[in-house]
Each structure stands twice: as structure tokens, then as C-alpha cells.
Structure 1
Amino acid sequence: LTRSMGMSGPESLAAAANVFIGQTEAPLIVRPYLANMSRSEMMCLMTGGMATIAGGVFAAYVGFLGGDDPAQQLYFARHLLSASIMSAPAAIICAKILFPETEKQDLEKLTRTDTHVGDNLLDAIASGTTDGLRLAVNVGAMLIVFTSLVFMLNWILQHSVGQWTGLNAYIQTSTGGRFEGLTFTYLLGLVFAPLAWLLGTPWHDSMLVGQLLGMKTMINEFVGYGALGEIQKTVDLHPKSVIIALYALCGFSNFASIGIQIGGIGTLAPNQRKMLTELGYWSLIGGSIACFMTATIAGMLL
């Protein structure tokens, strides 16, 4: 990437790391360079994190989509890996279009820093185990909270507004039973259905794929993939719609990730916090566009 696209070494390394370890760990790989990164380089780092997924959640998504069928698990694993790899260069393109490089970086001014990881092997293992447990508990808690929030909003809308206005029966009839009534996911489907259709989704599946895109953007992709797995069990989705949804969901581009990146990268490079807050929404836009680009290409090839 440094020779072919004129990128700096740190942003090239971070772009590759985002594919495998995700938006929270990739900045650690280039930690010595974060403090002196230009706006364009920081945008590339953040957008790459938004457009890819981490290896730690890869198995969970395969389980959501493939169920207990080994053949289906292998099928979706290949597509998930392809989606994350394809989104990395797409994220670079989007980041450089939004914020072209206009500054010349002097790498000689950058210094390496030594990070204390433990006094010995056992201490390092214990520290790593504690950090991993903390991360797993955090992910699990976030998943439970946001999933519960979606169910709560669905229940409130369906059993209050939908029931009082009679919209539940109309929605059930107009969608052929695909939606039970006026719910939060139904509203997301309405808003994002045109986008799903533009990505190549057949129109009769656009509402369902649109709701997944909305859940991914407003909540997170974990909830989106879980919903896609459940939809596959109850609705006869077109295979093209499933693949487009899979590729479009394959990224951390949601509003919560803005806070995660500002908090994570800002801790490693406090002097860049102001820039991080300015680039947060732009990186969300760039990461989302990158995922949509790969989804469109995947749909064209099917």
C-alpha cells in the first residue's frame, strides 16, 4: 500500500490489522505513531475500523448465520472473510476521498514506546486473561442491553400506537405477514428499504434487509447478524438478499463505535482527541459507504 497508493507505513499497517483484530486493537499496533498522525491518516485509521470486523466476533457471526450445519457455517465464513478483506481497501478509498492527504509526515520524529505487559510470563498471562474476560463481559452486556431495548421499543409501538390506530392489521396484510405490526424494526425497514434496493436487493426483500441496515447503524452489527439469522429461519429470503445483507453488515460502522474509537484512540494519543471528535461522524459515513460498496459488488457477482 505504501508504494502502490502512496500511504504512510502506519496507516497501511493499521488498515491490514483492522481486518483481523478490529477497531479497538488495531490502534495499538501503531501506537508510537498516533500522536503525530495527520488528519488524513487518522481518518484512514478510523474509517478502516468502521468498515471491518474483528476476528474475535467472527465465530459468533458464523454461528448466527450457519446454525448447526457445518456446510452452511463454512459457506458464510468464506463470505464474512471476503467481506472484511474487501472492505479494507474500500475504506481507504472512502477515507482519502473525504480527507485527502495534504501534509507531509516526518517519520524520523516518531519514537517507539515500550509498553509494560507484565513482570514475567505468568503475570502477562494473568493480565491477558483479565483483559479478555473484561472485554467478553462488556460485549455480552452490551448485546443483552441493546437487544432488550429493541424488543422493548417493538412491544411499545406494537401494543400501544399500532393497536390503538389499527395499523398492526394493515401492516400485517400489506407485508404479507413478514411484519407483525408497527414496530421499531418495521420503521427502520421503511427508512432503509430504498438504500437496500439500491444495493441490489430484490424489492420484495428490501424492507427486511433495510431493517437490518438500520439496526446495524443505530445499534450494532452484532444485533443485525442475530436478526438476519432469525429471519432466515422464518422468511424465505432470496439468496442474493442474504449475501447483500451479509456484506453490508460486515463492519463496526454504528454510532456507538464513534464513542469507542474516541475513547480508545484518545487514551493512546490524548493530543489527538479533538481531531477524533471532529472525524467521528465522517468515519461513520466513510465506513458505511465502504460496506455498501462491497455489498453492491457482491450483489453484482451473484
Structure 2
Amino acid sequence: MQILIGMIGIVLVLGVCYLVSSSRQQIKWKNIGLLLILQFLFGFVLLKTSVGTAVVGVFAKGFEQLLMFAGEGVNFVFAGIANKGQAPFFLNVLMPIVFISAIIGILRYIKILPFFMKWVGLGLSYLNGMGKLESYNGVASGILGQSEVFISFKKELALLSEKRLLSMSISAMSTVSMSIVGSYMALIEPRYVISALVLNLFGGFIISSLINPYELTSEEDQFSVADDKEQTFFQMLGEYILDGFHVAVTVAAMLIGFVAAIAMINAIFKGITGLTFQEILGYIFAPLAFLSGIPWHEAVDAGSLMATKLVTNEFVAMTELANGQWNFSQHTTAILSVFMVSFANFSSIGIISGAMKGLNEEKGNLVAKHGLKILFGATLVSFLSAMIAGILV
């Protein structure tokens, strides 16, 4: 029964994508079928075995080390601003973007990043039927994060069409940054984090290919890498550092506005209905939680946590899940854990559009225009991954 319900859920998710597709005739069903098979294959290996745990752990530790280096610079400038023992989001999450941006600039300058962009994009594009840059973006988003990834191909942004930006934004919001994987692993089981990283990669390609299919000409599918050596090394480094700071500040401004607006909406709903917006979404999400493989007697509470993740962020939802006050079964905990490992929430609309605006205002406005559609697609990616996990665990 569990497998049947999960399969029904997957069919419904794909059916919804088909109904809202911008061009059903251009959907590449063969590639989507292949990506679904790969999702199940990798999901089985990661959820049923310990393969991959050590590798991802090494990557996570590497990024934690980078963040420690970034912390040295942040502490030098902002030492004493935060209360002892406190961890302000702006200082600990956004300011390290400046250092990550500098690393991206260096990797691009010495031609490592362009090489990676070319060959990873080429390899994945054969599987997913998408463009090389779209394929690169899916992998790079899971390494760099949904705001930093756009810095890595900022010179190509001006050439991208509205459709390509939409697909890239869905992929970016569907992933998480490798730099915070270690934090997730402190709250939920590492194997669920690892599984979600891989499932969401393929899921992002599947959902964006269904919602937003398009064809690229051979000319459009080429991305030229500008020769950064026209600048001196330190000119390049200064440019990327300032780009990173611009992105961080813009994202902070967007977050302030979005989080405040959501708090106001919750208060309005509470005053009118006696329920917050999140609580109402919990009842709406209950059927989707059930289709993910969660028993009905746990579906409303699970739906509430799913809604919390959507309205606030994954850290808030993971912390509530880790507190253990819900008494969920191990099966339900596994499904919820996989669902939570993504950036699909309302605040991310501000983060992605803000990051894009910091690099190219015109493209940032296009992303903001499709903000809800991007969130809708990324949320479906989370549900698709959760449903596959529900079948396998």
C-alpha cells in the first residue's frame, strides 16, 4: 500500500507539472523517464546503504573549513557587534558570501571553474536534454548555494533568456549549499541529507523540464567564458569581493522585507480565523504529506512542519523536528527530513531575486516576476524527493 500511495503521488506531481506546463509539446519524456530511474537508483543506494556518506562528509568538512576562514575576515571587521554566544544571520550566513565570491573569482581566473562548467554541463545535458549551463547550474547550486551560484556565471547572465533563467532559478531553489550541510547533519540523520541532495538535483531537472520546456539552438547552448586575465589578478579579486558584498547586502534587504511581510500575514490570519497562515497551510499540506507516504494520523502534524519550512525556512522546521515533540515514526521522520533539505521557501524568492539584482538588475527583475512560479516548482521538487524516499525507506 505504501508503494502504491507513493506512486500515485509521483504521478499526481508530474500531472500537475504537465497541466501548468508552458509548452507541453516540447516536453522530453524520454529524458524525464531516465532522470526518474536515476532518482530511484541513487535513492536506493543512499537510503539502503552507507555508500556516499563518507564522500559527502569530506565535502561538508571542506566547506566548513572555508567558512572558518571567512569567519576570520568577518570577525576582524565586525568583532564585538554581536552579543557573546549569538550567531547573527547577516554575519554568519551572508557575510561569508564575500569570501566565497573571492574563491569563485580565483577559480575562474585560473580556468578551473570554466573547465568544470564546460564538461559537467556537457555530460549532464546528454541525460536531461537541457542546456549545458542549465546542467552546470544544477550541480553548482548544490555546492555553492542559490545566491552564490549566479556569481559563478555572472558574465553569462546578460545573454540568458527569460525561460532559461526560470529553469535555473527552480534548480537553484531546489538545492542547498554544501557549506551548511554540516549544520543540517547536526539536526537530522546524515543519510537523509545526502539522499535529498542527490534526489533534488535530478528532481530539479525533471520539474523544470515539465513546467518550463524549451529548445536551444546550438548557438544558444554555447557559453563563452570571458578572459578574466584581461584584468590583473588583484583587479579581478577586488571585483569579485565587491560583487559578493553587493549580493550579501541585497539579499539581506530582501530577507528583511519578506520575513516581515510573512509575519504580518500570519498575524492577520490569526486575528481573522484564529489560525496562522502556517497552520492553515498544514491542513492544506496534509493530503500531500499522505501521498508522500506519511500515515494519515500523522499527516496534519507533518503538513504543519512542511508548511513551517515553506513559510519560514528549513532550519526552523528541522529544529522543530529534532526537538522530538511530535513523536513521529521513523518512516515519517525520514520523509520529512528529505523534504526539508532544500531552499524552497518564501524567503528564497527574495534571496534569488536579490542575488540576481546585485549582479544584473534587468535579470533580477525577471526572476522576481516569476518568484511564485519558481517557489511552486521547487516545492514540487521537494515533494517528488519525499515521495521517492517514502517508497524506498
Q: TM-score, normalised by structure 1?
A: 0.72
Match of 2:193 in 1: 80
- Assess, with a 3 A threshold, how the Cα gap between structure 1 residues 242 and 256 changes in structure 2: closer, same or farther: same
Superposed displacement of residue 270, structure 1: 2.9
Bigger mean CA deviation after superposition, 104-113 or 4-13: 104-113
**How much does 1:111 deviate?**
4.8
Distance in structure 1 (CA, Å) of the matches to 2:280 and 2:178: 32
CA deviation digits over 1:32-67, x for unaligned, max 9?
2221123332122101111111122222222223xx
The structure-2 alpha-carbon separation of the partners of 1:218 and 1:183, relative to structure 1 and needing over 3 Å to count, comes to closer
Q: Which residue of 2 aligns with 1:89?
A: 202
For residue 268 of structure 1, the aligned residue among 354, 359, 365 is 359
Contact 1:200/1:296 (8 A) holds in 2: yes
Match of 2:134 among 1, 11, 20: 11
**2:344 match:** 253
Distance 1:26 1:12 in 2: 12
Are residue 48 (structure 1) and residue 171 (structure 2) matched? Answer: yes
How many Å apart are 1:78 and its aligned residue?
A: 1.8
Identical-pair percentage: 26
Task: Extract unaligned runs of 5+ from structure 1.
Answer: 66-75, 163-181
Q: Deviations over 1:170-215 (max 9, x none)?
A: xxxxxxxxxxxx6665444223212211211111111221111111
Seen in structure 2, the aligned counterparts of structure 1 residues 185 and 266 have a Cα distance that, compared at 3 Å, is: closer
1:225 aligns with one of 302, 318, 331: 318
- Pick the aligned partner of 1:207 from 274, 297, 300: 300
Q: Is the 8 A contact 2:306 2:340 kept in 1?
A: yes
2-structure distance, mates of 1:109, 1:301: 39
Q: Which residue of 2 aligns with 1:292?
A: 383
Pick the aligned partner of 1:114 from 210, 222, 228: 228
Matches within 5 A, 1:173-192: 186-192=279-285
**Residues 40 and 95 in structure 1, CA contact (< 8 A), matched pair in contact too:** no
| Distance apart, 1:80 and its partner CA | 0.4
d(CA) in 1 for partners of 2:174, 2:376: 10
Answer whether contact 1:10 1:33 (CA < 8 A) is retained: no
User: Are residues 37 and 161 of structure 1, via their aligned partners in 2, closer, same or farther at CA, if it must alter by over 3 Å?
Assistant: closer
1:88, CA displacement in angstroms? 1.1
| 2:154 alignment partner AA | R
Q: Which runs of 4+ in 1 moved over 6 A?
A: 115-118
User: Structure 1 residues 260, 186: closer, same or farther in 2, change over 3 A?
Assistant: closer
Instruction: Tell whether the 8 Å contact from 1:52 to 1:84 is kept in structure 2 after alignment.
Output: yes
| Structure 1 residues 65-116: Cα deviation after superposition (integer angstroms, max 9, x where no partner) | 3xxxxxxxxxx11210110111111111111111111342625674526398
Matched, 1:61 2:184: yes
1:220/1:256 contact within 8 Å kept: yes
**Letter of the structure 2 residue corresponding to residue 252 of structure 1:** F
CA distance, structure 1, for counterparts of residue 283 and residue 127 of structure 2 = 42
For residues 15 and 109 of structure 1, the distance between their equivalents in structure 2, rounded to whole angstroms, comes to 16
Matched AA of 1:10: L
Unmatched 5+ stretches in structure 2: 1-123
Aligned-partner Cα distance in 2 for 1:117–1:90: 40
The 3 A distance-change label for structure 1 pair 3 and 102 is closer
The amino acid that maps onto 2:296 is W
CA distance in structure 1 between the aligned counterparts of 2:223 and 2:194, rounded to whole angstroms: 36
**Matched length:** 258
Matched, 1:23 2:140: no
Question: Which residue of the partner structure matches residue 239 of structure 1?
Answer: 330
Structure 1 pair 105/286, CA: closer, same or farther in 2 (3 Å)?
farther
Whole-angstrom distance in 2 between the partners of 1:218 and 1:3 = 36
What's the CA shift string for 1:11-31, capped at 9, x where partnerless? 111111112221011112222
Task: Classify the secondary structure of the residue corresponding to 2:228.
Answer: coil
Name the residue aligned to 1:170: none
